[in-house]
Amino acid sequence: MATMRDIKRRIRSFENMKKITSAMKMVAAAKLRRAQEQAEAARPYAEKMHDVITNLAQGTKSNHPMLVSRPVQKTGYLVITSDRGLAGGYNANVLRLLENTLKKRHQSKDEYVIFVIGKKGLSFLQRKKYPVIGSVVGLSDSPTFADIKEIASQAVGYYADEKFDELYILYNKFVNPVVQRPTEKQLLPLDQDQFEGDNQGVKTEYEYEPSQEEVLAEILPRYTESLIYSALMDAKASELAAKMTAMSNATDNATDLIAKLTLDYNKARQAAITQELAEIVGGANALS
């Protein structure tokens, strides 16, 4: 049975842990607000680029390979995870989605390649000996486009060079601070219908130099890279929300354990006092 000293030591330990998890929760909450603001700030750029591509797609019959499906012999996947843990099931959920997708869609590892963002995903995939051909680790909680420009360009370039025939991105989609949904989205080939069906209202007129086809060929890879960056920002917001929730749960659990140990400590102290009183009374009776 634990002594009063042991119980008191455990109470102090949990109190220190509670201070740490509470501080980490507040830090994650502050970073989450910044991540949401950063994602909102990047949205107008993607929307304007989408408008330009819509105008281009409606103005020309393009056979650009990024808009045309081809027989699938090999598939590329880009997976976004975190560099650190303490985020609940954030990494496990998206990696489980990836494994289930690979088992369902492919017969062997020769049929796909993987790009990964985040140390947790990279370690997991290397340990399982998956074919990882590109990775980025060590991103900050407020990454810039330049941080993932190389891997985004590599993934898009491999598709353009027909090293694989479709590209998917897997990440945790931010729904709200409590819910983050593991999501798989096809990046390439781009769905041409989404461009041809837009801009039914007032249209913006653009003048293109040298030609619409050449401008479209230049802008489509950049648009796809912007989609990757947008997914990264969504994933970062999800990561910080998951950390905030995990630290909140850890703080609540520490509070419950402190309350239980405090009750055990008071019971042990009361038992010790009662024992001492019984011994005093017994000694007094023996002397009388």
What are the tens digits of pLDDT across the range 155-203?
999 998 889 999 999 999 988 888 899 999 998 887 766 665 555 554 5
Q: Outline where the chain has alpha helix (H).
A: 4-59, 90-105, 119-127, 145-160, 192-196, 212-287
What residues does each domain of the chain span? Answer: 26-245
Q: Is 27 left (phi over 0), alpha (psi -120 to 50) or beta?
A: alpha
211 with 61: CB under 8 angstroms? no
Type of residue found at 192: Q
User: What pLDDT sits at residue 176?
Assistant: 86
Taking residues 97-123, report their average pLDDT.
94
**Superfamily for the 26-245 domain:** ATP synthase, F1 complex, gamma subunit (3.40.1380.10)
Q: What's residue 202's pLDDT?
A: 47
Which one has a higher pLDDT value, 115 or 214? 115
> What's the rounded Cα separation, in Å, for the pair 15 and 7?
12
pLDDT at res. 35: 87
Please name every residue paired with 167 in a beta bridge, in sequence order, or none if there are none.
Answer: 76, 188
User: Please, what is the Cα angle at 175 between 172 and 177, to 5 degrees?
Assistant: 95
Taking a C-beta distance cutoff of 8 angstroms, is the pair 167, 113 a contact? no
Kindly state the average pLDDT of the residues 113-126: 95
What is the Cα Rg of the chain in Å?
28
Highest mean pLDDT among 53-57, 174-178, 240-244: 240-244
Residue type, 6: D
Residue 109 DSSP code = G
Of all residues in the chain, what percent carry a pLDDT higher than 90? Answer: 46
- DSSP state at residue 165: S
Give the up-direction half-sphere exposure of residue 86: CA atoms within 13 A in the CB hemisphere: 13
Q: Is residue 87 pLDDT above 80, yes or no?
A: yes
Range scoring the smallest mean pLDDT among 204-213, 238-247, 277-286: 204-213
Mean pLDDT of 25-39: 88
